[in-house]
Structure formats: structure tokens, C-alpha cells
Chains A and B, each alone.
Chain A
Amino acid sequence: MTGAGRGASVSLSNLERRYDRVAAVAGVSLDILSGEFLTLLGPSGSGKSTTLMMIAGFETPTGGDIAIDGKSVVAMPPYRRNIGMVFQNYALFPHLTAADNIGFPLKQRGVGKAEREKLVREALALMQLPDHGERYPRQLSGGQQQRVALARAIVFKPRLLLMDEPLGALDKQLRENLQLEMRRLHAELGITFIYVTHDQEEALTMSDRIAVMNGGLVAQVGRPEDLYDRPGSRFVASFLGESNFLPAIVRGVEDDIVVAECEGSIVRALCPGRPATGEKVMLTTRPERIRFADGAFASTAPQNRLSVTVTEAVFAGERCRYMLQARDGTAMVLKEPSSAAIRRRAVGERTEIAWSVADTILV
């Protein structure tokens, strides 16, 4: 692991937070490695913020344990945990200048004035805001405020940085710039990042690993490409990217490949378990991994094929998006990179589609 030792490891075991009868967090177990960029991804209300607030020490777990570097911190007040935190609305102190905001954690730690000024200057430079130290938060743009908040959270060299939807309030362009900047910062500092977002694209772009949360539980943890290629559940498949779902009936299992009947055809899918013959299952595949398979189509990899009717065709610049209907009525989406050389399909056209068995998952 890059920068191992500089970042804290965090271990959540069976972590739980109940309010009256509802469980905001219902038993989360997760091991976050030293120096890792881990993202908690999930829809609104899935318990991401509550989990983060418990790690920071602002919420008390009603069950389970949080260990940082192997030591339980549940009984430790937030101001002694030495964790950097960036809030969604920045939470900059409005009555202090940018420099004093950044110097605040140093002052709490008794760092002398000269040393403090030097560290603040360095932090401002790192955030590309060298001339903004004397400004008050309201004199800074949203992106600049975000950078000051980030500088303030790392200037005291914590080994763990928590961020709760830090880019949520910014426009797309700025968000993408800051995403790259955060990746760079993560690589540079080598400390552990725990990042909360409901934006799957952001999670896929930035993270070493993603923990997908739903209903107060972790639905699946893994590297972005693993989660995308092999979603473990219908929820993960639909929340992370776009997915087609095909109802099917199991006809047999060959090694780790399940053979199923789907829309009158035989299709094959990757499957970790061993479903029984005759069982009703759901297969999933990504819209951009399906292709039209009439005309000059050839592939060496094992393919699944279905006949479909085009029900809608939308040209969206970089790609075309087709709505298809399979023989038994299941709706599917196909995304094709656009090219002047490729014939556009017309609504009502009947055709064949194909996609690789490796891109078909039983969920």
C-alpha cells in the first residue's frame, strides 16, 4: 500500500446507530486499510453521514465498535481523535479569515505563532490559494471555500480525513477539477480518506474501494471496476451505473457458468453460487456492453444473443441510446458509441443483439 504507516487504519465492527425504532446504521462491518481512499456510496438516507459522524465522534454508536489503528475510540471525545473532517457546507468560521481558519487546529495544539504562519502559508500554497489568506469566507467563491476547508482539515497532519459530500454544492466543472485535485492530494499525503457521496460517478472516479450502502447496511465492498463488472445484488447493479435486468429460469450449471432460459433463448451468465435447476433468477448486463449482432458481426468470446425490437432511438452526441423490447416484453437499453459510419436503427426495426458471457451476471 502506498504511504503505509502515514494513514490510519479504521475498523468498523457491527456498528449500529438506532433512533427510537429506526436504525440509521444497522450493523456495518468494514475494514479500511492504512492509506486507502474509501468511498461510502449510497442513496440519501442510507446511513452514510451517520457512519461518518460516529467515526468522527459526533454520534455515539448504540452498538458495535470503531477501532482506529486497532484501538477502540468509541469512548474518546471528538477533539482528541485527531481526525480531519470536511463538511458538506464547508463549516468555515465566518468571523475568521481564511488564514485564521486554517491556523485554528494548529492553535488548539499549541503550535507557536511563527510555525503556525509558516504551515498556513504552505497549506494555502498547496491549495493554490497563496493570496487569499486575509479574505473572510464570504469573500471567497464556493470552490475556494472548499479548498480552505480542505486545507484546514489537513494542516495539522491527521492520519485520517473524513469528507461528507464535500463537492455537493459545486457545479459540474468545478466538481470534476476538485475530484482530480483530491486524488492528487490523497497520493501526495498518503493518509487514509473516507469519502461520502451519493454520486456514483464521483465514487467510481476517485476511490480505491467503494462500500455501497443501502438501508443502514453495506451492500457490497470492492474496487470500482469489480463492483461495476460484478455487482453482487440487484441494488448494486442498478445504483452503480445503469443495468439491464432479464428474468430467467436456470437450466443447468457448467463450472462457474450458469445456463438459463431467457426470453425464449439460452443465455449464459457468471455466477458465484450454485442455483438449482428450474429456479427463477435475474440476470444483469450493462447497456454499453451490448451490441447489435446482425450484419458483419463476429466475436471470438462466448456470446449471448437475443432477438429484439427497437422501441426508441435517441442520439445523444457521443453515443446513441436505444430502447429495445425482447420477445417476452422485457425492456432493455443499449448504448452504442456514435459514428457516422454506423447505420442508425429505426424505431420498429427487428434485429439481434449480442453481449459477452463475461458481462452477464446472475444477481
Chain B
Amino acid sequence: MTVARALPAMLVGLILLFLALPIVVVMVVSFSSATYLTFPPPAFGLRWYSVYFGSDDWLRSTWLSLWVAAAVVVLATLLGTLAALGIARLPKALRVLASALILSPLIVPVIVVAIGIYYAFARYGLVGTPAGLIFAHTCLAVPFVVTSVNASLAGIDPRLEQAALSLGATPIGAFFQITLPLIRPGVLVGALFAFITSFDELVVALFISGSGAVTLPRRMWDDLLYQIEPTIAAVSTLTIVLTVVLMGCAHLLGKRAAA
């Protein structure tokens, strides 16, 4: 009886452990005092954090990744939300087609997308520029925004908008006063995914960041290729903390919108 009840709990515990353990290892290693990657660390210290914060290259890449991701959030959220709103108004057959087209970057292997983007952008001198990264990442991020805004829209009674119009709101007024507040959780989640998509993106960056626009994932990749030292663990830990904080914010905002 008790065993039967404990078994599922144990199973869930094991799965969670399996998912979380690598993160824990990375975090522990980041506080290592050793000069090479080893686990468990012989002693603890902040030396790799000071290497990171003392390195212009690392900081420049971090800064680039942050503001590229911020730009992607703005662009992808705007485009994705508008696309979702437009798709919802299409006749059914067209709706399926339009959704499939917008989701295609998720279906085509990233490496194929990356090669395509590389050749296309090379022609317009966008390779090795932040603008190129922003455009490319926006393509990858838009599907996430569309999907999450779509899910929010599906939960809204279309009569609410009609009610607003019948009460004298203009279509734009109805959107900002009724529709937007109701889909805000979906928009926020979409924006968060857009941020993470860009901030975490490696494959496309490998192709198009060149030497002029080296993003954080790209620098981590290079670092792993040429030298293996715990700086990367420190960077990873900082990235994980940032992501968790963002997720937490989105969760809280979503909760308040639902309340």
C-alpha cells in the first residue's frame, strides 16, 4: 500500500534528479578553484567569475547577446502577436496554411535554416553584423510567439470584442482595452521564449556571427574548442540564473493577469 504510493513519487524524484543534476554539476564546477575542469572541485573560490568579469571578450559577447536578444524580443513579439491576430481572422483553410508556414522554421532542421540564412545574408552584407543576428533570430523566435499568443486567443470568447464594439469602442480601442489585456499572459510567455531562443542560439550564430558579432553561445563554443577551463561553467551558471529569474517573472506576471 505505502510502497505502491511511494513508487510514483520516487519515479518522479528520479526524473527530476536526472534533469537537474547536470545543472547542479555545472554550478558546483563554476565555483572551483582548479585551473582545469574537474569534478568534484578540489576547493572552492570565485576565480572563474573574476576571469569572466575581467575579460573584455566575454563581456563584449555577453553584452551583444543581451541586446540582440532584447531587439529580437521586441521584433518577434510584435510580429508574432500581429501574425497570430491575423491568422485567427482567416478562413479555416487559409488559417491552417498560414500557421504551417509560420511554424516551418521549427520543422526544418536548424542547420538547413542556418545555411540558407548564411547565403541569403551574405548577399546583403548582413553576415558578421548584429542586424543579421537580430533578423535571423527573429525568424526562429516568431513561431514561439505565434504559438503562445494563439493559445491565449483560443481561450477568448470572440463575443467580447463584439460586446466592446457594441458599447462604442473603436476596433483599436477594443483591441487595447479588451483583447490585449486578455492575451497578455500569452504575449509575455512568447516574449520570454523569444528572448531565450535568441540568447541561447548557437547554430545560426556559428554561420553568420563571423568575427564581428560573436555572441555568448558562440564564444562558449570557441572556448570549448580551443581551451577547456571552468570559465564556461561560470558563464553557464550566470545564464541559468538569468533564465530562471526571467521565467519566475513571467510566471508571476501570468498569475497576476489570470487573477
Q: Which residues of A are in contact with B by a Cβ distance under 8 Å?
A: 56-58, 77-85, 87, 89, 91-95, 104-105, 108-109, 152-153, 156
Residues of A near B162 (CB, < 8 A) are 56, 58, 78, 85, 87, 91
Say yes or no: A93 contacts B163, CB within 8 Å.
yes
Given known A-B contacts A91-B160, A94-B182, A56 and B166 have beta carbons under 8 A apart: yes
Restricting to B147-174, which residues have a CB under 8 Å from any CB of A? 157, 159-160, 162-171, 173-174
Given A85-B163, A91-B159: A109 and B168 within 8 A (CB)?
Answer: yes
- Which residue of chain B has its CB nearest to the CB of A87? B159
* Residue in contact with B163 in the complex, picked from A81, A82, A91, A95, CB distance below 8 Å: A91
The distance in angstroms between the C-alpha atoms of A87 and B168, with both chains bound, is 15
List of B residues within 8 angstroms of A83 by Cβ: 166
In Å, the complex CA distance between A81 and B177 comes to 20
Q: Are B166 and A156 in contact (CB under 8 A)?
A: no
> Do the beta carbons of B181 and A95 come within 8 Å of each other?
yes
Contacting pair B166 A84 (CB below 8 A): yes
B203 within 8 A of A: no
**Contact across chains for A89 and B157 when beta carbons are under 8 A apart:** yes
Interface centre among A56, A87, A92 (most CB of B within 10 A): A87
| In the complex, chain B residues whose CB is within 8 Å of the CB of A77 | 165
Do B160 and A79 touch across chains, with their CB atoms under 8 A apart? no
The answer to whether A93 and B178 touch (CB under 8 A), given A78-B165, A108-B167, A156-B168, is yes
A318 to B52, CA, bound (A): 89
Who on chain B is nearest to A58 by CB? B162
Number of B residues, CB within 8 Å of A: 20
Q: What is the bound-complex CA distance between A274 and B135, given in angstroms? A: 81
Residue of B nearest to A105 (CB): B167
Chain B residues near A89 (CB, 8 Å)?
Answer: 157, 159
17 contacts between A and B (CB under 8 A): A56-B162, A56-B166, A57-B165, A58-B162, A58-B166, A77-B165, A78-B162, A79-B167, A79-B170, A80-B168, A85-B163, A91-B163, A92-B163, A94-B160, A104-B164, A152-B167, A156-B167
B169 & A79 in contact (Cβ 8 Å cutoff): yes
In the A-B complex, the 7 residue pairs with the smallest Cβ-Cβ separation, listed nearest first, are: A108-B168, A105-B167, A91-B163, A85-B166, A91-B159, A78-B165, A79-B165
Q: Which residue of chain A lies nearest to B167 when distances are taken between CB atoms in the complex?
A: A105
- Closest Cβ–Cβ distance, residue B87 to chain A (whole Å): 21
